[in-house]
Structure 1
Amino acid sequence: MKIQLWSIGKEHDPYIRDGMAVFQKRLQHYVDFEVKLIPTVKQAASLSIPELKKAEAKIIMDLLQPTDFLLALDEKGKMMTTVQFADFLQQRTNAGTRQLIILVGGAFGIDQTVLQRAQLTMSLSPLTFPHQLVRLIFTEQLYRAYTVLNREKYHHQ
């Protein structure tokens, strides 16, 4: 299975880039993982929030393939423990999922059309985090989940 983390927004700040590099390197032993940054919509400041979310949704929907499994990160999504997330990844692998897309939305969240397309909506926390930090946190959690699946010592239960 290939996993892609898609995020709308700007390039990583140096501290995020460095942290991401650590976990991306560790992940290469377990899974084909890639980060895809989707540039912010041009002239976003001139759009209303609903218009901006719809413009972002069009870009996302155009990039998605029909066979992609979409996991959208959203504050109203299902919360999971690390072990539950690891089980989810194992289920996707067992089901023959070719590509898992994890989506971090824009500054105002994810449009309803994309949320309806998602097979799973997940929340990392009831707290609000900057989008760049979500990328780092999620990448670390992805690595942690794979160490759980491989019964390695990184995650303490």
Structure 2
Amino acid sequence: MKIQLWSIGKEHDPYIRDGMTVFQKRLQHYVDFEVKLIPTVKQAASLSIPELKKQEAKLIMDLLQPTDFLLALDEKGKMMTTVQFADFLQQRTNASTRQLIILIGGAFGIDETLLQRAQLKMSLSPLTFPHQLVRLIFTEQLYRAYTVLNREKYHHQ
């Protein structure tokens, strides 16, 4: 299975880039993982929030393949423990999922059309985090889940 983390927004700040590099390198031992940054919609400031979300959704829908499993990070999504997330990854592997797309939406969230397309909506926390930090947190959690699946000592239960 290939996992891609898609995020709308700007390049990583140096402290995020450094952390991402660490966990991306560690993940190479377990899974084909890639981060894809989707540039912000042109003239986003002149658009209403619903129109901006709609245009972001169109960009993403154009990139998605029909067979992609879409996990949308959304504040109203399902919360999971690390072990539950690891179990989810194992289920996707067992189901022969070719590509798992994890989507971090834009500044105002994810348009309803994309949420309807998503096979899973997941929340990291009831707290609000900067998008760049979510990239780092999620990448670390992905690594942590794979260490759980491989019964390694990184995650303390």
| Structure 1 counterpart SS, 2:146 | helix
| Structure 2 counterpart SS, 1:135 | helix
Deviation at 1:85, TM superposition (A): 0.0
2: CA distance between counterparts of 1:118 and 1:8? 16
Deviation at 1:62, TM superposition (A): 0.3
Equivalent pairs counted in the alignment come to: 157
Deviation at 1:87, TM superposition (A): 0.0
TM-score (norm 1): 1.00
1:69-89: CA deviations, max 9, x gaps?
000000000000000000000
2: CA distance between counterparts of 1:50 and 1:79? 26
| Structure 1 counterpart SS, 2:41 | coil
Deviation at 1:57, TM superposition (A): 0.3
1:63-104: CA deviations, max 9, x gaps?
000000000000000000000000000000000000000000
2: CA distance between counterparts of 1:79 and 1:50? 26
> Where does structure 2 lack aligned partners over 5 or more consecutive residues?
none
Deviation at 1:14, TM superposition (A): 0.2
> Where does structure 1 lack aligned partners over 5 or more consecutive residues?
none
Aligned to 2:15: 15
TM-score (norm 2): 1.00
Deviation at 1:27, TM superposition (A): 0.1
| Structure 1 counterpart SS, 2:113 | helix
Deviation at 1:45, TM superposition (A): 0.3
Deviation at 1:153, TM superposition (A): 0.1
Deviation at 1:125, TM superposition (A): 0.1
2: CA distance between counterparts of 1:104 and 1:12? 14
1: CA distance between counterparts of 2:150 and 2:11? 32
1:17-69: CA deviations, max 9, x gaps?
00000000000000000000000000000000000000000000000000000
RMSD across aligned positions (CA)? 0.1
Deviation at 1:126, TM superposition (A): 0.2
